[in-house]
A and B are shown apart, each in its own frame.
Chain A
Amino acid sequence: MASNSSGSDSSDRQRIAQQRLSVIAGHLQRPVEGNSGILAAECKAQGDKLDVSSERRTVPRRRQEIMKWNGWGYSDSKFLYNKKGQAEFTGKRYRLSGMIIPGLREWMESTFSANLQHKTPAAPILNSSAVQPPTLNEAFLKELKSTGIPFSHDAEDRVFRSHGHCLHEIFALREGKIGRVPDLVVWPNCHNDVVKIVELACKHNVCLIPYGGGTSVSSALECPPEETRSIVSLDTSQMNRILWIDEKNLTAHVEAGIVGQDLERLLNESGYCTGHEPDSMEFSSLGGWVATRASGMKKNIYGNIEDLVVHIKMVTPRGVIEKSCQGPRMSTGPDVHHFIMGSEGTLGVVTEVTMKIRPMPEYQKYGSVVFPNFEMGVACLREVARQRCAPASIRLMDNEQFKFGHALKPQVSSIFTSFLDGLKKFYITKFKGFDPNRLCVATLLFEGDREKVLQHEKQVYDIAAKFGGLAAGEDNGQRGYMLTFVIAYLRDLGMDYYVIGESFETSMPWDRVLDICRNVKARIVRECKDKGVQFPPLSTCRVTQTYDAGACVYFYFAFNYRGLSDPVHVYEQVEHAAREEILANGGSLSHHHGVGKLRKEWMRESISSVGMGMLKSVKDYVDPNNIFGNRNLL
């Protein structure tokens, strides 16, 4: 998400993009492959013309070269407390990189009663001997070799593809505990490679688990422990080319393994963008978005994945499914795309997608509004949705998150800035009478023609004023969005000091937003108390998307687990209770994270028995032998 965290004007963005490219280039001077298991093979793609050489891609086959094996994101980027006890974010990739964050320590200490003396360090390196030796299907392997598609059964490669980023998954890795992992990793290079792999898997009855960016938070990537067949992880990361761009129809045909940041960067080079920016876009892949029904931050302009997709090609055990044309809308029975979107890797592998593109916006502007309380904030968002004038993004943080965002302010360089900050605070709390323990802030992102953006901005601020909202500057807004990308890193810092937590999301009709926010937060607090958590938890939420008929809400929940013998179990019980609360209050099972295995138990009540039967019958037809056996969803 370089583009977002990098600055408000395009020259800044370009600069950061350049910087990122050079960093990545560094990684790409690969060491000589020591792993005998990997075979190189070229795959001829259809649209070589636009194909950018794979050397420019973010994600190498060996993810371990640039990414943490037991935490979020890049190995070089993380929060830590330096020798002076100040929080610091390392690396060079982000706007916050290399900066001191003076407020974080106090916030952590006061919010969680955490203490720098009480550390819970992670296992430093992956102990390969803890990984079970692979169960290989020799016949499959033999035929696979003959295709020339690269594969590996190296322990590290396998462990990397055995998990997403649920708390329990990362917690186990930090403790060096490794459960069932795939027995083999294959890296198809194109659609045809996938066709071959799926054919072989069917022939030899091997279980396939597609792997895109590995950012799942629904236990979707976990290998079912009851699976006795050889499990092959199908890593799409090397299928990462833009095959063509159709400027007349504004569409691009892209291989599904491309990760969000590469897709945007490459399209940007041609003056286009998709505008699809889920919080995970640095690492998550196009195929993953399709398979989970992803939602992007700027969906108000560009739409969610289902609005963006024009054509999908998926390889299933029954063969390849795709539509015959690219008409923008069709009445040809139920849309088969909707069997694919949200199928979570249970039906096949998405290999190529045609999606809408847009010219890059001329102008981008952040903004923020402070409201006296959360209720007013929600009322304002509702009005904005009613008038259908939502900016590219509008998000409302509650008071706790506002404070959290505040704690993440980097050290200010001049006395003048800090004086100004003090003045602002005085104005809002003393002059305007906002209670610092109740006020909340909405962050905004406008995009488009400069003139229209300014006009739009005025319209939104006028509405906000009706609900007691005060404009609070671009900087606050931008920091709000930056938080999205670093929050996952922050969890790793928390886990170094007995703090565990996670986020989960839901969607609901407008009239239930306030009730669900209040009830779920209160439920979390009560459950923590009941489950013996010694310190009050952080239980906070934000409204992240607005729709005509409702909104999407994110909950963040974390607590200090000192004194608990099985903190992950406690965490899971509380999250479970919170989900029950959401459902009891009329919230959905998921807005965009998906179901995976984590939320499977509620599927029947969510979509009815008949609905389950419909999905089941599709699965039975498409994949009768359960080759795509990750057991998600159903």
Chain B
Amino acid sequence: MILLHLLYTLRSLNDDEEFTDILEERRRNTDLGYALRTFNPQPYKGAPSCSTSDLNKAVLESQYLRYIAKEIALETGSSVEKVRQEARGILEEMSHNLQLGFIRLMAYTFNKVFKRLFRSIYVNMEGLNMLQQAIQESPVILMPNHRSYVDFLIVSFVLFTYDIPIPVIAAGIPLASMKVVGEILRRSGAFFIRRAIGSDKLYWAVLSEYVRTIVRTGCAPLEFYVEGFRSRTLKSVVPKLGMMDMVLEPYFKGEVFDITLVPISISYDRVVEESLLALELLGVPKPKESTTGLFKASRVLQEDYGCMHVNFGRPLSVRQLCEGKINRSEYNLIPRDLPQRPSTEIQDCVNWLAHLIVRTQEEGALISPWSLMACLLLQAPITTLTEEGLQWHGLTEKTLWLRKLVLDFRGRLNWPDSDVMSSTVALHHSIVHHKAGRVYLVQDGNPASQDPLSPEEKVMRTAAAVLMLVSYRNQALHVFVRPGILATAIHITKSTQKDELFSFFCFLRDVFSSEFIFIPGRASQDFDEACSLLQKCGAVYISQQEVTVLETGLEVLSFLQKLLQPFLESYQLIFRYLCENGAHVFTEKQFLPAVRNLATKLILSGDLHTFEVLSSDTQKNVLSALRRLEAVTKLRASQQNEYKVNKAAVRRTGDILCKIICDIPVKIKLLFCVRLENFDLFLPCCL
């Protein structure tokens, strides 16, 4: 309830909010003058200014690390001094070295780069003002989403511009190994975390103490990506809890009065690395982060990437959010310097908070007209896109229709004033082109190679283009997911009974909770939200016990159901693969290409209509969904990610998804018939 209220206030707050283009002033003044401006931020009250070396010293000399070092020394038989030496090494590799001089350098370069890349960078001033206030009251955690390398220092850049203390930022270790750039990032406030820490006890200890010390002392705001990494699909990623645990622990242990979480939503009209992402998802390895690579990438500077929005969400008080959810006195009986496994109550609370943040990021993101177009383009048959072309007129009209739906669903749109459609398509010339009243998918051919492409290569080529579209569609998905799942439930169950729909809604929500962000324990609120949104747009009528589909709502329902269709199909296919092919035990390395091969075959034979199953992201999500449903288990002892599949369980889950679709009650079938002709509503789900 509080949450709903929170999301609504957030929304209503943001609705009348003005965004300011921070590049505008930059274009008028000199970059150098800007970089050398006086920077005089108001820090967290009572926080002692603490230098990097103070911070590192505090970490190394902490009671916690002493204890862990002793423990590890005992376990491994080496000397405590040696372990502590090792800890020092880890800390050196990890720690940031924030220096104002480098912030200025960063600001100067960014100015140059951003002015090239973007037409505007919009920032909501009200959010910044609230942040400024919050920073003086308690330690602040900045939690942006991560959609592009470009946004790595964007928050620092904005905060520098507005005289707010510069954050220290958690980054992946590969960035640190870039020559020069790694060091610049370090001095701009980045600290570096290894990717696969696994069970390295000492590393965990150093990292967690480092993070906790930053939060405890409040010496700088801490920025990290709760999603863990850059989303390759532009869709929100199920949050990772490791950092979140560390960040919140000082509150749970009473070492700070409160912690403020600031969700930040960064949205792009066009993402710089769009094609790289698609290729990566199709299994083409991503180039290693390197400085030379960065310079090579400088050709991206020639392109136009439209606008970027940085939306600072309302600061959230951890204390307020956790009230009544946890009992902090569980830490009373053990010295707080000793490691203590948090209770499930606390773990659940952390998980809930992390999901809440990601949902808030979603709510704060701006949806571009292009995302809506992508939703629609993906609902057209693939041959239309690649060969015949889609009617421009129909597309624009439908986009306007969708705009209205998004507004009904309280989505936040970034809708420029004039010439929306054609400028949007022009901006995305790398994906579609508009010719003679029709729109075609651009397939990035490689004209240099003379050899004709094999059918499989053709599929991959199309898939790359489609996945780019998919990623832009994904930016709008959060608005439609809840009503979409209800529409799917209505479609599959053919039921009008609310409780029946609710239980199917919950089932779908469970199956897809690695795919979309659902706040744990909020199924009934999600269902209510879906109901009220569908009712609001006139798609259904809702009474005490029933949900009745209205004639006027068929267009909406069919759109929503088709929007989620690729996910249903992909999951079905992978379920089938797991049931029919292969052994009971498989590794991830075997699984991904095998699914990809099967899917390619089916696409070529015309039995599969979605390319999304080719994406490694989808494949991994299915795996984690099945693990959550305990149909697949990860083998503990295994080094190379081996999984054991319970075929019966997978089949059962798959059956629920597909069986019902095969025997549609006649009455409802009729209702849908009108639309069936036009929209090819039922894709064969039972492959």
Contacts and interface: CB of A to CB of B under 8 A. Distances in A.
B254 A585 contact: yes
Interface stretch (B327-335, B343-351, B546-554, B636-644): B327-335
B257 interface: yes
Interface in A494-517: 511-512, 515-516
Given A511-B335, A511-B336, A586 B254 contact: yes
B257 A518 contact: yes
A512 B337 CA distance: 11
Interface in A510-538: 511-512, 515-516, 518-519, 522-523
Interface in B242-281: 254-255, 257-258
A515 B256 CA distance: 7
Interface in B305-328: 327-328
Nearest to A521: B257
B314 to A, nearest CB: 17
Nearest to A584: B328
Given A511-B335, A511-B336, A584 B255 contact: no
B257 A519 contact: yes
B257 A584 contact: no
A533 B258 CA distance: 21
Contact of B329 (A519, A522, A586): A586
A136 interface: no
A583 B254 CA distance: 11
A583 B257 contact: no
B335 A584 contact: no
Contacts of B258: 522
A586 B327 CA distance: 11
Given A512-B254, A515-B255, A583 B336 contact: no
Nearest to B333: A586
A584 B331 CA distance: 9
A522 B332 contact: no
B335 A583 contact: no
Given A515-B254, A518-B257, A522-B257, A584 B327 contact: yes
Interface string A521-563: 0110000000000000000000000000000000000000000
B346 to A, nearest CB: 13
B336 A584 contact: no
Interface in B405-430: none
B254 A516 contact: yes
26 contacts: A511-B335, A511-B336, A511-B337, A512-B254, A512-B336, A515-B254, A515-B255, A516-B254, A518-B257, A519-B254, A519-B257, A522-B257, A522-B258, A523-B257, A583-B329, A584-B254, A584-B327, A584-B328, A584-B329, A585-B254, A585-B328, A586-B254, A586-B329, A586-B331, A586-B332, A605-B329
Contacts of B328: 584-585
Interface residues of A, number: 13
B46 to A, nearest CB: 8
Interface string A170-184: 000000000000000
A586 B329 CA distance: 6
- Most chain A beta carbons < 10 A, residue from B255, B257, B328: B257
A23 to B, nearest CB: 47
A549 to B, nearest CB: 12
B292 to A, nearest CB: 49
B66 to A, nearest CB: 14
Nearest to B252: A584
Nearest to B253: A515
A584 B336 CA distance: 13
A7 B331 CA distance: 45
Interface in A566-586: 583-586
Contacts of A518: 257
Contacts of A584: 254, 327-329
Contacts of B336: 511-512
Contacts of A523: 257
Nearest to B317: A526
Interface string B479-509: 0000000000000000000000000000000
A574 to B, nearest CB: 15
Nearest to A585: B254
Contacts of B337: 511
A585 to B, nearest CB: 4
A518 B258 CA distance: 11
Contacts of A605: 329
B322 to A, nearest CB: 11
A515 B251 CA distance: 10
Interface in B434-480: none
Contacts of B257: 518-519, 522-523
Given A522-B257, A585-B328, 14 more contacts: A511-B337, A512-B336, A515-B254, A515-B255, A516-B254, A518-B257, A519-B254, A519-B257, A522-B258, A584-B254, A584-B327, A584-B328, A586-B329, A586-B331
Nearest to A373: B46
A523 B257 CA distance: 8
Q: Which 8 pairs across A and B sit closest by C-beta, in order of nearness?
A: A585-B254, A586-B332, A522-B257, A584-B328, A519-B257, A515-B254, A584-B329, A515-B255
A512 B327 CA distance: 17
A583 B328 CA distance: 9
Contacts of B255: 515
A233 B258 CA distance: 47
Interface in A583-613: 583-586, 605
A579 to B, nearest CB: 12
Nearest to A519: B257
A108 B242 CA distance: 49
Contacts of B327: 584
A512 B331 CA distance: 11
A518 B254 CA distance: 10
A606 to B, nearest CB: 10
Contacts of B254: 512, 515-516, 519, 584-586
A501 to B, nearest CB: 21
A583 B331 CA distance: 11
A419 to B, nearest CB: 34
Interface in B211-267: 254-255, 257-258
Interface string B136-148: 0000000000000
A516 B332 CA distance: 12
A146 B337 CA distance: 66
A138 B622 CA distance: 83
A584 B251 CA distance: 11
A518 B337 CA distance: 19
Contacts of A585: 254, 328
A440 to B, nearest CB: 13
A516 B257 CA distance: 9
Which of B254, B258, B327, B332 has most chain A Cβ within 10 Å?
B254
B278 to A, nearest CB: 49
Contacts of B331: 586
A523 B256 CA distance: 11
Interface in B559-610: none
A523 B258 CA distance: 10
B295 to A, nearest CB: 49
A587 B254 CA distance: 11
Contacts of A522: 257-258
B679 to A, nearest CB: 53
Contacts of A511: 335-337
A585 B337 CA distance: 14
A154 B615 CA distance: 89
A523 B328 CA distance: 15
A584 B258 CA distance: 13
A511 B336 CA distance: 9
A567 to B, nearest CB: 24
A519 B331 CA distance: 15
Nearest to A520: B257
Nearest to B329: A584
Contacts of A586: 254, 329, 331-332
A25 B509 CA distance: 84
Q: Which of B258, B327, B331, B332 has the most CB of A within 10 A?
A: B332
A583 B329 CA distance: 7
